[in-house]
A and B are shown apart, each in its own frame.
Chain A
Amino acid sequence: MKIVRIAAAGAAVALALTACSSGDDGGSSGSDGTAEAADITLWLAGADTPDELRDYLKTTFEEENPGSTLTIEEQDWNDLVTKLTTALPDENNTPDVVEIGNTQSPTFTTIGAFRDLTPLYDELGGDDLLPSFVEVGQADGKNYALPYYFGSRYMFYRPDVWSAAGVEKPTTLAEFGDAVTALNNGTQSGFAIGGQDWRNGISWVFANGGELATEDGGEWTSTLSDPNTITGLEQWQAVYEGASNVPATERDVAYWDFLNDGTDGAAPAAATIMAPGWARWSIGDLTTNDDGEEVRDGMADTSKFGIFALPGTDGGLAPVFAGGSNIAISAKSQHPELSENLLRIIFSEEYQTMLGENGLGPANAQYVDSLGDDEFATTMIETAAASKLTPAAPGWAAVEAAFVYEELFQAIAEGGDVTALAAEYDERITPMLNGS
């Protein structure tokens, strides 16, 4: 019978604790600054952290903390909240350090699931850390979760299609809307976006200075009816109706397929899409890799494939919703010193640089140069500075779990009256944000 590692580790921990409390001449506890040797667990979400970085974390941690080991477990994004909900309160089985989606952070920071990292804040990077991510990990003025990495969204487009139609690259958000509407010919979307795709859609809200919700004295209020938000939503509605042929019910669409040529050289299904940076590896002409498989060439042909950042209303950059995640230590961790040591490694120059080299935006602004200086890197750095996050409300995860914004955006995409919808959904969302 196979009793797997964590259970055994749990038992070991229990034994170690008893040994500690009964014997008075045992190993040193954390008092003299060196932590007692142990195995700690890091939960990473999804496959975004490459193996090279995981190996680095393991070997470095084990070198710097002799006798201790680091176990890295990969958790699925889909199940992360479920697993955190069950495991974090369980001191025998809690992971010590966890990666968590930036928008999921508030749910856990507000109920004391994480260890207070305020004392470490300056040491780990302080004000150089990406502000929007730091903010979403705060509760009552304390830092419970810090940024791990950020991603960005780009507009991927077909320069050949754009120039064939005589449309110029836009410099303002309004121009972008006009351009992609002009490009739409009924079968080829000017800009392919699903109606439910609010994570891309809220860029229009943010660009117009709108907010999804605001906080006042600990009370959250949904602000869809704010005039700026309404303007953004209406602008997005016009863009969707004019430029996209993707159904209003779609959200997680593999948009990158739309940009590729169809079978037998047929025209692509869209002239423009909005997607995270890694989408580039699913875009391009077909080629054969070393294993003899057909793959996309990663946009090698720049006359056919290109990117730009979504322009703002006044010509700058539109604030887009930033993907990425935070990192935190479980409040119930039995090895807080070791966990903090792990964070020191994660926020070190070396690891931050490695993140950048692998295309993940480093949390510390000093090291963003490591992303490189190609078009993707420069655009990513620009947009990150302008990026925004969803409200850090305790009930945010509940709103996401109930797919409320998906429904709202679908209703808008289907041509609903934005002002009426905004009022209706404000009423629905406000109580959810406050966790009741």
Chain B
Amino acid sequence: MSATVAAPATPAPPSAGARGTDARAPLTGARVARRVRGVLLGLLAVVIALLWAFPVYWMVLSSLLPNARLRSTTPTFFPTGATLGNYRSVLSGDSFTSALGMSLAITGLTVVAVLVFAFFAALAISRFRFRGRLTFVVAVLFVQMLPAEGLFIAQYRMLSSANLLNSVVGVSILYTAAVVPFTIWMLRGFVAGVPIELEEAAMVDGLSRTKAFLRITFPLLAPGLVASGVYAFLQAWNEFTVALVALPAESARTLPLWLRSFLASSASRGVDWGEVMAASTLIAVPVIVFFLLVQGRMTSGLVSGAVKG
């Protein structure tokens, strides 16, 4: 995981050679003190990491325990006597797979649309001066300040009249609109950070404008695009208030709606924590997998950006 917000101003590139100086420094008292401090900081970092991950651990752990155990007032901290029973009952029926399919389709479409639209817009506002540019920039920033809780009825009416209720496209339009403003801001910094001279130099070397863009500029933008993609993915994957009105049919449920309805039907009979946690785990897993997948890309993108910059 690396760049998540583009620096509107591009700070100085790390210079080669600076890294090595520390290692060659002579062993002094100050250095010992620094090492002790390093160990303490390391410990602190591990403790914080564990604390931060604890709720996640708790979720996975509980998903493996039988419900009667979870209701007890003395918590169980380790998965002794673990069972997959919760997962079995959660996955019985096809509601999970249908919700998974819906979520994947909506999230996929949203991520692609957001990246393309936001990238174009970022290109426009950072590479061109044009009439209405400032208005557009300000509008983009302010439009995300509109509270979403009052929009249900308008959004429903709009989708209904366009015959897009319960459709992947309808929700994806709403999600894209919700996510695009922020990603434009994010990418704008990245685009502005790529010196146009690089591209021009490549063109002097005989590359076409498109090729110069693809070979030189695009790789430098990769971390920004990945970061925007991650953001769009998370938003679309987790959203449920818009989905609630835009996808009223049971067959069109996304995963968060599925979890919510699962929670609701469970709550009316006394929450079956084990099953709820199993359901939550199932929703979190694709996100974690996705994060692990893009992590490598992001880092390599950043490294190549740093080297070429």
Residues of chain A touching chain B, judged by Cβ–Cβ distance below 8 Å, are 1-7, 10-11, 46-47, 73-79, 82-83, 85-87, 90, 92-93, 252, 254, 256-257, 262-263, 278-279, 282, 286, 291-296
For A91, give the chain B residue with the smallest CB separation.
Answer: B160
Q: Residue B248 at the A interface, CB < 8 A?
A: yes
Identify the B interface with A (CB < 8 A). 66-69, 71-74, 83, 85, 88, 101-102, 105, 152-153, 156-157, 160, 163-169, 244-245, 247-252, 260-261, 264-265, 267-271
CB-CB < 8 A to B169: which residues of A? 1, 3
**Are A83 and B245 in contact, CB atoms less than 8 angstroms apart?**
yes
Interface of chain B: mostly helix, strand, loop or mixed: helix
Partner of B264, one of A1, A78, A291: A78
**Complex CA–CA separation, A279 to B260 (angstroms):** 22
Contacts of B85 in A (CB 8 A): 291-293
Name 16 A/B residue pairs within 8 A (Cβ), A-sorted: A3-B169, A4-B252, A5-B251, A6-B252, A46-B264, A47-B265, A74-B261, A76-B260, A76-B264, A79-B264, A82-B244, A252-B267, A262-B72, A291-B88, A294-B67, A294-B69
Return chain B residues, CB-CB under 8 Å to A86: 152-153, 156, 245, 248
B252 CB contacts on chain A under 8 angstroms: 4, 6
Sample of 9 further A-B pairs with CB below 8 A, known A3-B167, A6-B252, A79-B244:
A1-B169, A2-B168, A4-B166, A4-B251, A73-B250, A77-B264, A263-B74, A282-B269, A291-B88
Q: Most chain-B CB neighbours within 10 Å: which of A1, A76, A82, A90? A: A76
- A252 to B270: give the CA distance in the assembly, Å: 9
CA A82 to CA B245, docked complex, whole Å: 8
Chain A residues with CB below 8 A from B271, complex form: 254
Knowing A7-B165, A291-B85 are in contact, say whether A282-B264 is a contact too (CB < 8 A). no
Q: Is the CB of A7 within 8 A of B102?
A: no
Please report the C-alpha to C-alpha distance between residue A10 and residue B164 in the assembled complex, in whole angstroms.
10
| Chain A residues near B157 (CB-CB < 8 A) | 90
For B170, give the chain A residue with the smallest CB separation: A7
CB <8 Å contact, A256 and B270: yes
Write out the residue numbers on chain A whose beta carbons fall within 8 Å of the beta carbon of B249: 4-6, 73
What 5 A-B pairs are tightest by C-beta distance, nearest first? A254-B270, A76-B264, A4-B166, A294-B68, A86-B156
A256 CA / B160 CA spacing, docked (Å): 43
Max chain A Cβ within 10 angstroms of own Cβ: one of B102, B260, B270? B270
- Say what secondary structure dominates the interface of chain A: mixed
Q: How far is the CA of A389 from the CA of B146 in the complex (A)?
A: 40
Residues on A with C-beta less than 8 A from B68 are 286, 294-296
List residues of chain B with CB within 8 A of the CB of A286.
68
Bound complex: CA of A79 vs CA of B164, how far in Å?
Answer: 20
Q: Which residues of A contact B168 (CB under 8 A)?
A: 1-3
* Residues of chain A contacted by B267 (CB below 8 angstroms): 252
- The answer to whether B248 touches A87 (Cβ under 8 A) is yes
B165 engages A46 (CB within 8 Å): no
Whether A262 and B270, one on each chain, are in contact in the complex, defined by CB atoms closer than 8 angstroms, is no
CA distance A295 to B69 in the complex (A): 10
- Asked whether, in the complex, the Cβ of B270 is within 8 Å of the Cβ of A257, the reply is yes
B71 pairs with A257, CB closer than 8 A:
yes
**How near does chain B come to A288, taking the closest CB pair, in angstroms?**
10
Smallest CB gap from A269: residue in B: B73
Select one of B167, B250, B268, B270 contacting A7, CB under 8 A: B167
Whether A10 lies near B165 (C-beta < 8 A) is yes
Query: How far, in whole Å, are A221 and B245 apart by their CA atoms in the complex?
Result: 34
Question: Residue on B with the closest CB to A78?
Answer: B264
**A78 and B165 alpha carbons, distance in the complex (Å):** 20
Contact of A1 with B265 at beta-carbon distance under 8 Å, contacts A86-B248, A92-B160, A254-B270 already known? no
Residues of A within 8 A of B105 (CB): 1-2
The closest CB in chain A to the CB of B249 belongs to: A6
B163 contacts A82, C-beta separation under 8 Å: no
**B72 → A minimal CB distance (Å):** 5
Q: In whole angstroms, how far apart are the Cα atoms of A435 and B281 in the complex?
A: 42
Q: In the complex, which residue of chain A has the Cβ closest to the Cβ of B69? A: A294
Minimum C-beta distance from B309 to chain A (A):
40
B contact residues around A77 at 8 Å (CB): 264, 268
CB distance from A81 to the nearest CB of B (A): 12
What residues on A are CB-neighbors of B67 within 8 Å? 293-295
Partner of A46, one of B66, B166, B250, B265: B265
Give CA–CA (A257, B73) in the complex, Å: 10
Which residues from chain A contact B250 at a C-beta distance below 8 Å? 73-75
Closest to B268 in A: A46
**Are A278 and B269 also in contact (CB < 8 A) when A3-B166, A46-B264, A257-B71 are?**
yes
Most buried by B among A86, A293, A296: A86
Please give, as numbers and ranges, the residues of chain A lying within 8 Å of B264 by CB-CB distance: 46, 76-79
Q: A2-B168, A74-B250 are in contact. Are A262 and B153 (CB under 8 A)?
A: no
Bound: A85/B265 CA distance, A: 21
Which residues of the other chain, B, contact A93 by a CB distance below 8 angstroms? 160, 165, 248
Contacting pair A4 B66 (CB below 8 A)? no
Give the CA-CA distance A291 to B83 in the complex, in Å. Answer: 11
CA distance A198 to B165 in the complex (A): 38
User: In the complex, what distance in Å separates the CA atom of A10 from the CA atom of B160?
Assistant: 10
Q: Are A262 and B164 in contact (CB under 8 A)?
A: no
Set of chain A residues within 8 Å of B74, measured between Cβ atoms: 263
Complex alpha-carbon distance, A10 and B265, angstroms: 28
For the complex, what is the distance from the CA of A1 to the CA of B167, rounded to whole Å? Answer: 8
Q: Inside 8 A of A2's CB, which chain B residues have their CB?
A: 101-102, 105, 167-168
**Chain A residue with the shortest CB-CB distance to B274:** A293
Residues of B contacting A75 with CB < 8 Å? Answer: 250
Bound-state Cα–Cα, A129 to B135, Å: 63
Name the CB-closest residue of A to B266: A47
Interchain CB contact under 8 A, B166 and A11: no
A83, A93, A256, A291: most-surrounded residue (chain B CB, <10 A) = A93
Instruction: Report the Cα distance A395→B237, complex, angstroms.
Output: 36
A82: chain B residues within 8 A (beta carbon): 152, 244-245
CB of B73 within 8 A of CB of A263, answer yes
